[in-house]
Structure 1
Amino acid sequence: MNRIKAVALLSGALFLGACGQPQTAPAPAQPSGGHTAAELGLSPSTSPSGRWFVELEGEPGTLSAQSLRAQQQSVLLQAQSAGIQFQEVASFQTLFNGFSVDIADAEVGHFTRLPGVKAIYPVDVIEQPQLQEGSSTPEMFSAIGMTGADIAQNELGLTGKGIKVGVIDSGMDNEHPAFAGRVVSQYDFVGDDFDASTTNGNPIPQPDPIADDCGGHGSHVAGIVGGNDPATNFKGVAPEVSFGSYRVFGCNGSTTADIMLQAMERAAQDGMDVVNMSIGSSFQWAEYPTAKAADRLVKRGVVVTISAGNSGANGQFATGAPSLAEKAISVAAVDNAEISLKSFNLTVDGTARSVGYMLASGSAEPEVGKVLPVVVADPVNACSVNGGSPFAENQFSGKAVLIQRGTCTFAEKAKNVAAAGASAILMFNNAPGYISPGLGEPAIKIPFASFLQSEGEAIRADVQAGKTVTVSFNAGEQRFKNPTGGSITSFSSYGMGPDLDLKPELSAPGGNIYSAVPLQSNGGGSDPSGYGIKSGTSMAAPHVAGAAALLLQAHPDWTPEDVKTRMMNTASTRWFFSNGQPLPGTPIYTQLQGAGMLDIPAAHASTVFAAPAKLSLGESDGMPSRSKVVVLTNRGDQPQTFTVQHYPALSVAGTTYAPKPSTGRATMTVNGQSADLDSAGQGGVQVTVPAGGQVELNVTITAPTALDAKSDYAQYGGYLVAKGTAETVSVPYGGFQGDYQKLEAMGPVYFVQGSQTTKRDFPALYDPALDLVYFENEQPGKLPDYTFLTFDRVVGQRGLKVLDAPTLWVHLDHQVQTVIMEAVDAQGTAHPVQTFPYVGRNSTNVYQVGTDARPWNDYVWDGTYADGAKAPAGQYQLRLRVLKALGNPDNAAHWEVYTSPAFNVVRGAASPD
């Protein structure tokens, strides 16, 4: 069985919901005999044990729900007749033709052989993000100003009234004043105690009639979409939308993808106009069931906005499903332009200014108003020297001491400075941006304030120049400009999709966003005001969902494609930077920011649009230049003239797991003329689009020919920008420079050779029910002999543990198009065993064997071939063949192959005695 680790934002679990009848959840699967994951030092799968999607032939929507259910029942009856042990969990007929089942490892291959089964996919488990505490100030700061939502509300009169937005999440606090009276549809799929990733507590869904929120994430997301609390002046993007609330999380823990899919079907049935999913499984494919369902939701006329994922630290190709769906809008996260901070007054020779800071955890609250003289520590890093403090006792008595981050731990710095009698510690960063230090235990009894590098350098210079510098701490919080504001957050996931489709597609504020949290009086919430701060692409997607509601209110005739196209065409890259420095005309990776920052007023006012809204160019190997047609359409009553220019972005070189910027740039021609800019920023191709007419742009993009990183491949990208006197239209593009098939797919593979825990001094053990003989693990010089059971079984009266089935533990470094496992007999004939389509990659390239948990996939052979026949006794090897992403199955170079050591299959009438 292939169990794939799911690392992501949020997603779905087991249960029934809107489709089918409730199913009794089976008991958790027992561990198999032989090696356990812990014994191997490998991490067990994070997918629910034995939980799979089974997809059937036939597209939802072409047949009635009754016909689809009848087809599904036929397959389930065939499975029962074949003796397959399974438990149906949920069935789907609206957005997906199939069902989810709990099934033992050894039975998975049997299900794939049933007539009418198209494919099977693991049901991913996704953890619920935890709400971060923040300011109690109930406003969204500059976030809605970054997208122009404030202009849309105040100048255009758009509020989202009449538009229904479905929020698939942890529910909403129905009693929160920000949502009062506006939740028109709701469904709880899980109940408070549900947690898909543990057998502790209650892993069985217990739905409640009210989809209330005790986890906090869903209320925060909904507040961004359209919260409206006049008493506190809090407003989301679309403050008069109506809500559909679909709860897929308990108060804590995780959920699974089949619950997620049920919620999507329910939102479709409830007639939502927009659906937001701040949820997903990273490192996936667009073919994953939730992604397919998202596309079908769009086809039904629903705008679908989905967070790209928070896996930026895990390298390229990390954007998740369902965000990879072709027609959905995949949203990256940008840091808020402003941030709320505690502050102190810094006075230099009588001139005061306010400095924002973050208080270290484990330090004391400052005494408000007390004036302290500032001195600079020497050494400024305040680290120990030869194991002891560099400072004398009472050296800093009554002083605020300036130190710098770096070299040693925060706790060591704090201990040394506090022991020298300081009244406060002022630490400045050694890199751009704010940090929140953690001191651990024991805590210190003085305040420890952390602030910007630039402020600290200025304070140090003033003190060293002999100026009189003092500090006094203020009460409350203030708003400060965020030095990383407007840049892509460090956690936002890289694209592209493994099919080289350009994802993510749009950016919106997602770092340090204020919004609603459950009221403490309602059993949740970390702030009594009912508001808090959170960061994530989870916070970016609802900005786009709210924007979609505003645009649909203003343009009720727009289709979901119209909304997506206008948003992407009018997005701006003006916010984005590279390596902390603005590079005009050279935006950062397209594979991180997509089309750029959402601009709601520009999308609303656009009369000229470009289609397609993005260009996915594929790989350049064998075809370095790609030609596409972009059509400019003018819906206005006046002709418009544009200068079409090319803005190449940085290329993403390095490895999949460790991306690095490259200065390699693509080139572009439009209608046979160069659209590239010269060194003075001049150039381009002029076109005029008549009123009510169209113009075709024949665009040819040539991939970079050289990279400055030690790599022969990279993701490249950029923008076609049509600048007019009244409007600007932009189209992002992305491609893969070089041979995509050179990316390695398989990391290490482990062949599990029987049990290390059973005794070795017994002869063959026979199970007459299965006509299989099992030998204890081998004597020296002999091949291992295997059973094919994947659970413990008592044999005879000795109570011996049967050996585990032969298993391959595989780490995937990149998504693969197909995984095929074969049993190769002694004559060299390969017998197909199992086939898995569109398998996601693992989350990290670290595959340490030991106690450290790492993600692996496991493939188990049950002793039968794909056609159901039992393998005869004899010598075998397991062979795993993986077809690389976008690989040609007829090209041997596009396959990676692993062949296990030999082992024996023994069948016969041996006695267990």
Structure 2
Amino acid sequence: MLLSPVAGLIALASLACGNIVANSSSFSTRSSTLPNTYIVSLLAGAPKSLQGRTLDSGHQAFHKRATAASIKYSVNYQYDAPDLLYGLSIKLENDADAAAIRNMPEVQGVWPVRSIARPQAAIPDAHGPQAEQFAATQPTSRLLKRSDPQHLNPDGNVNHNTPHTMTGVDKLHSQGIKGKGVKVAVLDTGVDYRHAALGGCFGPGCKVSFGYDLVGDAYDGTYGNPPMPDSDPLATCVTGFHGTHTLGIIAMEESVESTFSGMIGVAPEATMGMYRVFGCTGGAGDDVLVAAMIRAADDGADVISMSIGEVVAYANISWSPFEQVVTGLTTRGVAVIAAAGNDGAYRPFNTETPGLANDALSVASVENVGFQTFEMQDSLGKTIRYGSLYPFAKGTLTAVLVGSGTLASEYGCTTADHAAAAAKATGDLSKYVLIVRRGYCPVTTIQAYAATAGFNNVITFPDDTDPNVFIQGYISPSPYLVGNSSAIVNFGSTTNRIILDGVTSGKNYTLKFGTPNTHISKQAWGGQMSNFSSVGPTWDWKFKPQMAAPGGNILSTYPLDAGGWAILSGTSMATPYLAGVYALVKSQNSALGPKEIFNVMQSTSKPTIMPGRSDITTVAHQGAGLVSAYDAVTYTSRVSPGQLALGPTEKLLNEQPEITITNRANYPVTYRLTHTIANGMKYYPHGEELPGNEGWLNLLFCRLEASLFAASMSFEQSSITIPAGQSQQVPLAITPPQGLSPEEIPIYSGFVTVSSSLGDEQFSIPYMGVGYNYTAAASFGHDTPGPSTNVNDNYRDIFSAPTVYHSGGEEVQNYRRFTLESNDLVGVVSTFLQPTSWMRYDLVRADIELTPTWYGFDPNVTYTNLTKTASPDHMVGGVPIIGNILYYQMNIPTFQVYYGWAGLLYDENYYQIGLLKGSYRILIRSIFTGVNVNDTVYNDVTNWQTFLGPIVEITRDVPAV
């Protein structure tokens, strides 16, 4: 990747549906790479040494050549798997030596080590920009009526394994299928295997029988606290809770604890391994993750579960070895299953790597259908059911309300809210229960502020005016941690406003808690996609996420020092669940490899409906839908592939998708084909219109909303009969939806449904396509800016054409003079409407002979007596330029740039140069993603989309800094 100094800022902000504010003389950057630290891929053979002799290994050759070149470095990790990665991770004393290393004959590739954030549980009720009613654009008939939750155990038999009833895992368990013989490796924060449900020990014969600690407690993702590896992956710090929870989801033994009697993992007989890649705080370098993946494979793992990730716009992750390693693991027969991410509440096109690797399975989250609840009685004689991890202790508590219960500013989201509530109480706060309306901020915020104010009993109720359906169900935050233990904060939630009516009745309102009467209550919107689950596809149109598993409000093991159990949410929980299902399928199909099992799991998954609605969720959110473990194991027929990534319309014109149906029965089977429509999706679901004229700075422009457009599909035969043991290919005639606006970036989706005459076999093959001709779309905004002429105005049209303006806000129409001093600077606002591979802002002569794709001035207006610059030209990309202002070479998504320029320029080698006074124009250009850019393509101006701005006359020389 090549970039000018501000490109790091652009890279950071380009994932947001907002503006980038940059200034060429003063700006900040943030990098996700570790300083001076690199992964180096080496030739595995025996290359020639400096003297022409052969060496024993590529490692030796590298070390000798580096020593001869006086390059000083330390080795973090050595990789010895030629089929995965052969090389090492190093930290240089002098970062300038990286260039010399890249040119060594032993070196195949060099990647900066990236810091991967520590995995965290999602906040299930967190607001994202799409929290407005999903139904805003939908017919009323498609909406579902909200109702009070029902009990899932009317016979009184409490079943905490509701995720297993959702997926059919319980049916497999009843047949004795529990993952025996399959080795599952978890890469995470370590595990508290002292937990009885996790076996209580580590090593041969134990539940957790293999693994390694690659980092130690003190490691924080930097090499300031270097890894301290050892052979035991035990994590006793409660901040290492994540791995204990994820491993329990896969393989916890049946719990005998009275509160959670009968709790069991997805594949309790699988052989489990933990590879600790995070310390007690901070993140982890991707060099650590690679080392763990290789070690897990060498230890014989059949599947690797990674609830770890970094948001990346593109599946083409050439800046990381993940793609190479995952491909090699798949070839070895090791499946990689990774989390899609927890950013679905904010915007689509936002999934995470390493799940983006072509051969990895990216996992989305579905809400659990059940939630553990208990009863309480209020002083007005009403019985109220509340959800909580544990029942409140027997006794009577006086209720105290946060604020008035109506103002959003008093929803318990500040310390002042809780301090004011504490002031209403007298005496011991443990005798009170805090009543808080939820919906304005995450329940974890309420929990933390309540604890700080001295309350240890909290019950929330939903804001019934909030359209976010996910706050209507029961919610339980993770245990509140203080130091290396959990504080006592009893936290309950209700699904109605009874307690609000009671506490505001003007009477002394109390809540009485008696002997627990446990029920598993039906969770509002259970079985539907979690709002936090990240939405695809990637910006290079790859099919991610690929399928979903239960991940919302999942009960599992937790470090003993923090109570031993917790309810957490996230694709972090869905990922190990799916890894457990993989183990179940693998245990019954030992000859199948990762791709074949992924196909089986996807094709037998079940589409989900949109939260609060009755129509099917876009495939960009759910992938193939909710995994059906029982069907994946028991179906006789097979349908492949497991997914269809159709791409833009121009790709579909040249390729006809098809599926293959295989009849594995010993007699003919008839199959019926139908088309099931799913909702569409747009990156800008409202185009440039938004109620209230919010303007282009508002994140509400980018969010997941249902859109009523879909493809049509036909089959040569809607019913086919396939002889015993035979397969048949079925071509699909798919016509994309017509008339969609490219700048809104529409994505259509649906399912090919195949029903067989073998009982209740029904397969669903998801497809996803881009609803326009991408290569013919405009790269830049092209609307006339408005309604305001001041470019700083928030009401600027998001699809406006690039605009050159004065720093005071006035647009430059054709010509303007600038001193580039103080408040007399040049500014540029531009919107890139399509993902691009290359982007440049260059300064060119005012009289340049160039016909751009778009003019930023009236080409019929001419100016004479312009100041000729004495600055020399540099030929770059087929155009003579004076210098570069901004440059980005890497796949980047759509974004807005709001850039202030004070005269800094860079030559073709990206060294800073001075600017001489004269008359200039700013040239903006881009090359689309997917173009194979070599020197010939790069230097052909016709391969670029270009915008040429008005004349900016610079009245003084600006020296290089």
TM-score with structure 2 length normalisation?
0.66
Alignment of 1:693 with 2:726, yes or no, is yes
Judge conservation of contact 1:309–1:332 (CA < 8 Å) in 2.
yes
Question: Any idea what the Cα deviations from partners look like across 1:785-822, whole Å, max 9, x if unmatched?
Answer: xxxxxxxxxxxxxxxxxxxxxxx9x9999875468999
User: Which one is further off, 101-110 or 313-322?
Assistant: 101-110
2:197 pairs with one of 174, 178, 190: 178
Deviation at 1:887, TM superposition (A): 3.2
Percent identity over paired residues: 26
Judge conservation of contact 1:106–1:861 (CA < 8 Å) in 2.
no
Give 3-state SS (helix, strand or coil) of 1:720's partner: strand
Alignment of 1:286 with 2:286, yes or no, is no
Give 3-state SS (helix, strand or coil) of 1:124's partner: strand
What is the alpha-carbon distance in structure 1 between the residues aligned to residue 76 and residue 448 of structure 2? 47
1:718 pairs with one of 750, 762, 774: 750
What is the alpha-carbon distance in structure 1 between the residues aligned to residue 892 and residue 876 of structure 2? 25
**Structure 2 CA distance for partners of 1:716 and 1:722, relative to 1, 3 Å:** same
2:348 pairs with one of 316, 320, 323: 316
Deviation at 1:176, TM superposition (A): 2.8
**Structure 2 CA distance for partners of 1:61 and 1:210, relative to 1, 3 Å:** farther
Give 3-state SS (helix, strand or coil) of 1:159's partner: coil
Deviation at 1:231, TM superposition (A): 3.7
1:166 pairs with one of 165, 176, 185: 185
Judge conservation of contact 1:359–1:449 (CA < 8 Å) in 2.
no
Q: 1:204-353 alignment to 2 at 5 Å?
A: 204-213=226-235, 214=237, 215-232=240-257, 233-288=262-317, 289-341=321-373, 343-345=375-377, 353=383
Judge conservation of contact 2:539–2:893 (CA < 8 Å) in 1.
no
Q: 1:773-788 alignment to 2 at 5 Å?
A: none
What is the alpha-carbon distance in structure 1 between the residues aligned to residue 916 and residue 99 of structure 2? 21
What is the alpha-carbon distance in structure 1 between the residues aligned to residue 833 and residue 300 of structure 2? 40
Alignment of 1:565 with 2:599, yes or no, is yes
Q: What residue number does 1:102 align with?
A: 91
Q: What residue number does 1:634 align with?
A: 663
Q: What residue number does 1:192 align with?
A: 217
Q: 1:129-144 alignment to 2 at 5 Å?
A: 129-130=119-120, 141-144=161-164
Alignment of 1:128 with 2:118, yes or no, is yes
Judge conservation of contact 1:140–1:515 (CA < 8 Å) in 2.
no
Judge conservation of contact 1:567–1:599 (CA < 8 Å) in 2.
yes
**Structure 2 CA distance for partners of 1:846 and 1:864, relative to 1, 3 Å:** closer
Q: What residue number does 1:885 align with?
A: 929
Alignment of 1:702 with 2:735, yes or no, is yes
Question: Any idea what the Cα deviations from partners look like across 1:820-850, whole Å, max 9, x if unmatched?
Answer: 99999823233999999755669xx698999
What is the alpha-carbon distance in structure 1 between the residues aligned to residue 504 and residue 285 of structure 2? 58
Q: What residue number does 1:48 align with?
A: 34
Question: Any idea what the Cα deviations from partners look like across 1:191-239, whole Å, max 9, x if unmatched?
Answer: 1100125x7xx52111122121231211211111112155434321011
Alignment of 1:667 with 2:712, yes or no, is yes
Deviation at 1:473, TM superposition (A): 3.8
User: Which one is further off, 410-419 or 212-221?
Assistant: 410-419
What is the alpha-carbon distance in structure 2 between the residues aligned to residue 634 and residue 193 of structure 1? 55
Judge conservation of contact 1:646–1:720 (CA < 8 Å) in 2.
yes
Q: What residue number does 2:641 align with?
A: 612
Deviation at 1:89, TM superposition (A): 3.7
Give 3-state SS (helix, strand or coil) of 1:598's partner: coil
Deviation at 1:717, TM superposition (A): 1.0
What is the alpha-carbon distance in structure 1 between the residues aligned to residue 221 and residue 393 of structure 2? 46
What is the alpha-carbon distance in structure 1 between the residues aligned to residue 669 and residue 943 of structure 2? 48
What is the alpha-carbon distance in structure 2 between the residues aligned to residue 898 and residue 74 of structure 1? 49
What is the alpha-carbon distance in structure 1 between the residues aligned to residue 832 and residue 742 of structure 2? 23
Judge conservation of contact 2:75–2:91 (CA < 8 Å) in 1.
yes
What is the alpha-carbon distance in structure 2 between the residues aligned to residue 577 and residue 432 of structure 1? 26
Q: What residue number does 2:547 align with?
A: 506
Q: What residue number does 2:808 align with?
A: none
Question: Any idea what the Cα deviations from partners look like across 1:47-93, whole Å, max 9, x if unmatched?
Answer: 2123333446x7x8999xxx998346546665666676765543433
Q: 1:515-594 alignment to 2 at 5 Å?
A: 515-520=556-561, 526-527=562-563, 530-573=564-607, 576-583=608-615, 587-594=616-623
What is the alpha-carbon distance in structure 2 between the residues aligned to residue 409 and residue 474 of structure 1? 28
Alignment of 1:738 with 2:772, yes or no, is yes
Judge conservation of contact 2:603–2:765 (CA < 8 Å) in 1.
yes
Deviation at 1:264, TM superposition (A): 0.8
Deviation at 1:287, TM superposition (A): 3.9
Q: What residue number does 1:440 align with?
A: 449
TM-score with structure 1 length normalisation?
0.69
Q: What residue number does 2:386 align with?
A: 356
Deviation at 1:653, TM superposition (A): 0.8
Give 3-state SS (helix, strand or coil) of 1:484's partner: coil
Q: What residue number does 2:142 align with?
A: none
Judge conservation of contact 2:365–2:570 (CA < 8 Å) in 1.
yes
What is the alpha-carbon distance in structure 1 between the residues aligned to residue 117 and residue 893 of structure 2? 18
Q: What residue number does 1:409 align with?
A: 411
How many matched pairs?
Answer: 743
**Structure 2 CA distance for partners of 1:261 and 1:837, relative to 1, 3 Å:** farther
Give 3-state SS (helix, strand or coil) of 2:681's partner: strand
Q: What residue number does 1:456 align with?
A: 496
Judge conservation of contact 1:330–1:505 (CA < 8 Å) in 2.
yes
What is the alpha-carbon distance in structure 2 between the residues aligned to residue 487 and residue 440 of structure 1? 31
Judge conservation of contact 2:315–2:542 (CA < 8 Å) in 1.
no
Judge conservation of contact 2:338–2:354 (CA < 8 Å) in 1.
yes
**Structure 2 CA distance for partners of 1:607 and 1:177, relative to 1, 3 Å:** same
Judge conservation of contact 2:461–2:497 (CA < 8 Å) in 1.
no
RMSD between superposed Cα atoms in Å? 5.3
Deviation at 1:472, TM superposition (A): 3.8
Question: Any idea what the Cα deviations from partners look like across 1:404-460, whole Å, max 9, x if unmatched?
Answer: 574643368878888888986756667999998458378487965323548536889
What is the alpha-carbon distance in structure 2 between the residues aligned to residue 881 and residue 77 of structure 1? 44
Question: Any idea what the Cα deviations from partners look like across 1:233-274, whole Å, max 9, x if unmatched?
Answer: 432101111122211111111101111011111111111111
Judge conservation of contact 2:38–2:112 (CA < 8 Å) in 1.
yes
What is the alpha-carbon distance in structure 2 between the residues aligned to residue 345 and residue 712 of structure 1? 52
**Structure 2 CA distance for partners of 1:445 and 1:720, relative to 1, 3 Å:** closer
What is the alpha-carbon distance in structure 2 between the residues aligned to residue 421 and residue 782 of structure 1? 61
What is the alpha-carbon distance in structure 2 between the residues aligned to residue 68 and residue 602 of structure 1? 54
Give 3-state SS (helix, strand or coil) of 2:192's partner: coil
Q: What residue number does 1:22 align with?
A: none
Judge conservation of contact 2:119–2:307 (CA < 8 Å) in 1.
no
Deviation at 1:719, TM superposition (A): 0.5
Deviation at 1:636, TM superposition (A): 1.3
User: Which one is further off, 187-196 or 71-80?
Assistant: 71-80
Judge conservation of contact 2:36–2:91 (CA < 8 Å) in 1.
yes
Gaps in structure 1 of 5+ consecutive residues: 8-35, 384-402, 521-525, 674-684, 750-779, 784-807, 851-859, 908-913
Give 3-state SS (helix, strand or coil) of 2:725's partner: coil
**Structure 2 CA distance for partners of 1:710 and 1:835, relative to 1, 3 Å:** closer
Give 3-state SS (helix, strand or coil) of 2:645's partner: strand
Judge conservation of contact 2:876–2:908 (CA < 8 Å) in 1.
no
What is the alpha-carbon distance in structure 1 between the residues aligned to residue 29 and residue 749 of structure 2? 36
Alignment of 1:828 with 2:874, yes or no, is yes
Judge conservation of contact 2:117–2:310 (CA < 8 Å) in 1.
no
Give 3-state SS (helix, strand or coil) of 1:507's partner: strand
**Structure 2 CA distance for partners of 1:106 and 1:129, relative to 1, 3 Å:** same
Counterpart residue type for residue 666 of structure 1: A
What is the alpha-carbon distance in structure 2 between the residues aligned to residue 813 and residue 118 of structure 1? 35
User: Which one is further off, 652-661 or 685-694?
Assistant: 652-661
Question: Any idea what the Cα deviations from partners look like across 1:251-304, whole Å, max 9, x if unmatched?
Answer: 111101111011111111111111111112211543431133112101101122
Q: 1:812-891 alignment to 2 at 5 Å?
A: 817=837, 826-830=872-876, 839=891, 865=909, 883-887=927-931, 889=933, 890=937
Question: Any idea what the Cα deviations from partners look like across 1:669-708, whole Å, max 9, x if unmatched?
Answer: 122x6xxxxxxxxxxx21222221112211022211145x
